[in-house]
Amino acid sequence: MADSRQHVLVVGAKKAGLERVAPMLRRADFSVHSVEPSPFLLDLVLSTEFELVIVTYPLDTLPLDDLIDTIRDAGSACHDAGLLLLAEPEQLDDAQSVVDLGANRAICCDWSEARLWQAIGDLMEVAPRILMRVLMHADIELRNEKDRAIFQTVNVSVSGVLLQGSDHPDPGETFDFLFRLPGGGLIEGSAEVVRHTNPLREGVDGIGTRFISFRDQCQERLSAHIGRQMELGKNR
């Protein structure tokens, strides 16, 4: 009988953080393959499909850029895999700078198991993003009081949105938001700050967020809009 489990590649298995994550995945019946970074790893991700790749940050013996480029190569068997960077607390900000340059998420090895599972669950089905520039109004906590901030969306998916703006609430903070889709549809809900962007590497000064909840039919409205835009892109 074919193995129907989802396959996860864990790179840097001897690091302390991954010693927590790999048993979690096995208990949930994922098929976990653990390797150390080496040139062999590049051949592995080119030829073998994994739904998720978890990498310790930083890598000691292999340039991370080489690994990301190989995973995201058009001919790679792992081209569509979720790519998760696992960092020590003092290195999390550096790891987050790699997000959106081929990696999908950076997380801290001392986060709670529930928070780690949230990140892993999000990446097992990475949502497609579309470019969309509209203004978003957000009620965020600034200087110990609620304030209305205005951001510009950069790209959006059904799971989150990248925002450009001068306000930078801390990762983990939540806020209520509203914005209008091109064409007028109103989207309202709440979101959580996942990371700060790296303006030098990403060309965007702002925050990455994930959606927590939507009002009324807003989630369906957003999903339908993204689907239409994706279809238009295929037909161009």
> Of the candidates 139, 88, 143, which has an alpha carbon nearest to the alpha carbon of residue 110?
88
DSSP 179: E
From 124, 146, 168, the end of a domain falls on 124
Whether 2 is covered by a domain: the verdict is no
Q: Taking Cα atoms as reference points, which of 203, 168, 165, 180 lies closest to residue 134?
A: 180
One domain for residues 108 and 154: no
Average pLDDT over residues 70-93: 89
**Tens digit of each residue's pLDDT (9 = 90 or more) over 130-186:** 778 888 888 876 555 677 889 999 888 888 888 999 888 888 889 999 999 988 889
Rg (C-alpha) for the chain, rounded Å, is 18
1 domain-assigned: no
Tell me, what's the pLDDT at 184?
Answer: 82
Residue where a domain terminates, one of 55, 89, 124: 124
Q: Which residue has the tokens 């303006």?
A: 199
Number of domains in the chain: 2
Give yes or no: residues 144 and 221 share one domain: yes
Tell me the residue range of the domain where 187 lies.
Answer: 130-234
Beta strands in 36-185 (DSSP E): 52-57, 82-87, 105-108, 130-131, 135-142, 145-156, 160-164, 174-180
Whether the predicted pLDDT of 1 surpasses 50: no
> Which CATH number fits the domain that encloses residue 113?
3.40.50.2300
Q: For the chain, give the mean pLDDT.
A: 83
